[in-house]
Amino acid sequence: MSFLAIDDLTKRFGSTPALDGLSLDLAEGEVLALLGPTGAGKSTTLLCVAGLEKAERGRIHLDGRDLTTLPANRRNVAMVFEGLNLFPTLSVRQNITLPLQAPGQEVPSGDIEARLKTVTEQLRIAHLIDRRPQGLSGGETQRVALARALVRRSALYLLDEPLSALDLKLREDLQAELRSLHAHYGSTLLYATHDFHGATAIADRLALVAKGKVIQIGRLQEIMAAPANAAVGRLVGSPHMAFLRARRQGDEIRLPGQEPSLPLAAFRPKAAVPESVTIGVWPEDISLVEQQGFAGSIYAVNRRGIDKAIQIDGDFGSFRKAVPLELPARQGMTAAFSFDPARAFLFDAKTEQLLSQVQHGTASA
Amino acid sequence: MASITIDQLRVSFGDFRAVDDIALEIEDGAFVVFLGPSGCGKTTTLRCIAGLQEADSGSIRFNGEEILGLSPSARNVAMVFQSVSLYPHLTVAGNIAFPLKARGEPREVVRRQLDWVAEILDLGAIMKKRPGGLPPGALQRVALARAIVRKPNVLLLDEPLSAVDEQFRENMRWELGHIQRELGVTTIYVTHDQREAMALADRIVLMRDGRIEQFGDADDLYFRPRTAFTGYFIGSPSMNFFAAELRDDRVLLEGTALGGSGTEGLKHALAGREGCRLGIRPQNMVLSEADGLPHLAEASEVLPFQQGTERLFSFKLGERVFLGQDRSAGGTPEIGLDLSRAFLFDAQDQRIDLAPSAQEVAS
């Protein structure tokens, strides 16, 4: 049975739908990332779970209890916001321990000290506890906010882009800390982010959110093996899925102006295929070839450290792919590539729906 | 377009030396990134070049000519900031043409330049629109167009992507790289994001405490870091650092023995030294079954996890946590260290050569 169950959550801000029947389930001790672009409904979802926003429709259950109409302070959830909300007049110690003195949640004072010590050592802010928030750096402030959420033994932690305002290096350090905190406490976490790397660094499963809905939920490998639609491909991967504009001509699929055409059957169609289609391929499943293959040109090259990524443009559109540093690649050079249609996906160019059958349990990449 | 030579540049704010004797040579047409943590002096240096910040002393020359005494406008530099500020009542074309008209350029020149910039930045479809309803990506392109339309000596970009979300940021990063190489205009880009620096730069100026920590291309900084700071700052996930010492002819990392063969070079380098640290990237520390690499005799809390499409693992030595790459396949794996890709840093955090031949990594 699921620990947190969100069912058909719906909410409008004015005439704009923020949540459009959003549903998801979360097991106890699991970390689930809500991954989606800004404005997809991630924050609104967390606010509804925390009891800080009211949904117009839908139910939220936590550990068998219906939370939907409970006030925020009786839900036993802790939330860390993107915009930090520390009290400027209180010390770091007071900011962190305040939730432990809240009516109905009082903790014996010996216990408070012990918890304060553990959490501040873990987040490496023990030396800051007598200071006030305004003198702290961004990273320190962020850690204090995390400590304040973690010090309460909540059933559920809601983290809304808790690291997005930080320097990249600090962000990576804190991701590692969050992971080890989770390994230590086994807490249940719902983590909203627009950063694919950040999401996969922390979460067991991903819930991909777009336009107020969960468009797919699962482990990364499951999602990559069976992307529900083209929008999923845009949210997942680094670089994300390659999309190639193509046409169906009879029993063949053809990239504009390119040879050879590919047999439609190789794409495992499960429904009638329209003329206008998009081929989706994970960049890892595309090979660069010396001769033959499809032709494009290198739009730009980005170094990444141990490897580099190139963007290949053509009449089919453009895609990006990681390649070894040794590969000679310069802006403006031609590039030829090929892929196995059996590892590619066919999408309807208009509706973006998946037209290929997928074999469950076979991971791509 | 211009080459830039910076010499003994110094800027103080009260007692704080924000820029501390910087010297730098930037080739004409290069894409250079000033990289470093908050407060390292990268933005202050940029502002000196733009003429928005006065220097205490030193010199900045464009094509050999001193510019420090010149007004910002006389330097012919273009600067693009984090927040885009366009005139709402003018069309996109009007906004872009503004600096040219302000300079009194004849109408044909304005039109020719507008056509050129619209083509490069793919603005044709929005030239007649007003900025109000445009998406953020288009606004950034318009701001860039306005900056380059008068063919500046130097294009200066101050964290132009730091306020936008990840997907847009990545797209703009590719656009910017492409456009800069098409234009060939000398460009300086300030960021704290090493991924952006690696992706875009011909040359990276890594700064720390007002000084240049290392200046080189992405491969120099990644494969040949001169200091522990460079090793840490460049690359993702971050480089691991182990306290390293030689005791009873054994290499100890965080007090744990490094077993197996192939440690002679490291032993030799550690002999007679104290306070050294071994730096090794997670990509070069591998959890696998018998790969013949020198391995750590004991580690606790070995936890594999997935990050993106990569399999990583974390482990503990004493109280400290380290990261590596997981290539285990169900057997009894060991933590192997590829010492040919590791770096030894002395107590002053300077790199010591291990075995010169093994350090030169093909790239």
Q: Quick check: A179 and B177 CB within 8 A?
A: no
Q: Quick check: B166 and A194 CB within 8 A?
A: yes
Residue B360 has pLDDT above 50, yes or no: no
pLDDT at A360: 57
pLDDT at B355: 63
Q: Which backbone phi and psi does B157 adopt, to 5 degrees?
A: -125, 120
Rounded-to-integer distance, Cα A29 and Cα A52, Å: 23
Better-scored residue on pLDDT, A192 or A82: A192
Q: Quick check: B198 and A305 CB within 8 A?
A: yes
Residue B28 has pLDDT above 70, yes or no: yes
Do residues A211 and A229 make contact, with C-beta atoms less than 8 angstroms apart?
no
Structure tokens at A191: 């983590």
Nearest to A242 by CA among A335, A326, A360, A333: A335
Rounded-to-integer distance, Cα B239 and Cα B279, Å: 6
- Write the single-letter amino acid at A190: L
- Tell me which chain B residues have a C-beta less than 8 angstroms from the C-beta of A298: none
| Banded model confidence at residue B188, pLDDT cuts 50, 70, 90 | very high
Residue in the block written with tokens 């069912």: A7
- Residues of A near B (Cβ–Cβ under 8 Å) read 37-38, 137-138, 167-169, 172-173, 176, 179-180, 183, 194-197, 200-201, 220, 224, 234, 237-238, 284, 299-306, 309, 311, 320, 325-326, 331, 365
Nearest to B179 by CA among B155, B159, B205: B155
Rounded-to-integer distance, Cα A46 and Cα A24, Å: 12
pLDDT at A100: 81
What ipTM, to 2 d.p.?
A: 0.81
- Tell me which chain A residues have a C-beta less than 8 angstroms from the C-beta of B199: 302-304, 309
| Banded model confidence at residue A362, pLDDT cuts 50, 70, 90 | very low
Picking from A168, A220, A237, the nearest residue to B195 by CB comes out as: A168
Burial of B9 (0-12, 13-18, 19+ CB in 10 A): buried
Q: Which backbone phi and psi does B195 adopt, to 5 degrees?
A: -65, -40
Picking from A37, A169, A325, the nearest residue to B233 by CB comes out as: A169
Structure tokens at B89: 């009542």
Do residues A253 and A277 make contact, with C-beta atoms less than 8 angstroms apart?
yes
Antiparallel, parallel or unpaired: β B285-288 and B240-247: unpaired
Residue by residue, DSSP assigns A236-275 as SBTTB-EEEEEEEETTEEE-TT-SS-EEGGGG-B-S---S
| Banded model confidence at residue A108, pLDDT cuts 50, 70, 90 | confident
Picking from A183, A196, A303, the nearest residue to B218 by CB comes out as: A303
Residue A118 has pLDDT above 90, yes or no: no
With a CB cutoff of 8 Å and minimum separation 6, the contacts of A195 are: A35, A164, B166
Nearest to B145 by CA among B96, B183, B73: B96
Does residue B84 belong to the interface with chain A, where contact is any CB pair within 8 Å? no
Instruction: Report helix, strand and coil shares of chain A as percent, to nearest 5.
Output: 30, 35, 40
Nearest to A25 by CA among A217, A196, A226, A187: A217
The pLDDT > 70 percentage for chain B reads 96
Rounded-to-integer distance, Cα B319 and Cα B234, Å: 24
Quote the DSSP letter at residue A229. B
The whole-model pTM stands at 0.84
| Banded model confidence at residue B163, pLDDT cuts 50, 70, 90 | low
Rounded-to-integer distance, Cα B157 and Cα A172, Å: 25
Q: How many CB atoms lie within 10 A of CB A37?
A: 17
Give per-residue pLDDT as tens, B254-277.
999 999 888 999 999 999 999 999
Rounded-to-integer distance, Cα A51 and Cα A71, Å: 6
Structure tokens at A35: 């991954």
Instruction: Tell me: cis bond preceding B225? Omega within 30 of 0 counts.
Output: no
Q: Three-state SS for A221?
A: helix
Structure tokens at B185: 């205009």
Average pLDDT, chain A: 89
Rounded-to-integer distance, Cα A33 and Cα B308, Å: 13
Q: Quick check: B177 and A325 CB within 8 A?
A: no
Between positions 307 and 346 of B, the ones with CB within 8 A of A are: 307-309, 314, 321, 323
Q: Quick check: A38 and B200 CB within 8 A?
A: no
Mean predicted confidence (pLDDT) in B14-28: 95
With a CB cutoff of 8 Å and minimum separation 6, the contacts of A250 are: A264
A109-122 and A138-150 helices, crossing angle to 10°? 140
Mean predicted confidence (pLDDT) in A211-230: 95
Do residues A324 and A307 make contact, with C-beta atoms less than 8 angstroms apart?
yes
Q: Quick check: B166 and A196 CB within 8 A?
A: yes
Nearest chain A residue to B203, by CA: A303
Rounded-to-integer distance, Cα A89 and Cα A61, Å: 36
Mean predicted confidence (pLDDT) in B338-354: 94
Do residues B267 and B357 make contact, with C-beta atoms less than 8 angstroms apart?
no
| Banded model confidence at residue A83, pLDDT cuts 50, 70, 90 | low
Rounded-to-integer distance, Cα A35 and Cα A214, Å: 9
Which of B203, B307, B311 should we substitute to test contact with A (largest number of A Cβ atoms within 10 Å)? B307
pLDDT at A4: 96
Q: Quick check: A196 and B178 CB within 8 A?
A: no
pLDDT at A82: 60
Q: Quick check: A197 and B281 CB within 8 A?
A: no
- Tell me which chain A residues have a C-beta less than 8 angstroms from the C-beta of B309: 220, 224, 237-238, 284, 365
Q: Quick check: B306 and A303 CB within 8 A?
A: no
- Write the single-letter amino acid at B208: R
Q: Three-state SS for A105?
A: coil
With a CB cutoff of 8 Å and minimum separation 6, the contacts of B115 are: none
Give per-residue pLDDT as tens, A4-51.
999 999 999 888 889 999 999 999 999 999 999 888 999 999 999 999
Q: Pinpoint the alpha helices (H) of A51-157.
A: 92-97, 109-122, 138-150
Do residues A27 and A8 make contact, with C-beta atoms less than 8 angstroms apart?
no
Residue in the block written with tokens 């306020």: B163
| Banded model confidence at residue A105, pLDDT cuts 50, 70, 90 | low
Residue A239 has pLDDT above 50, yes or no: yes
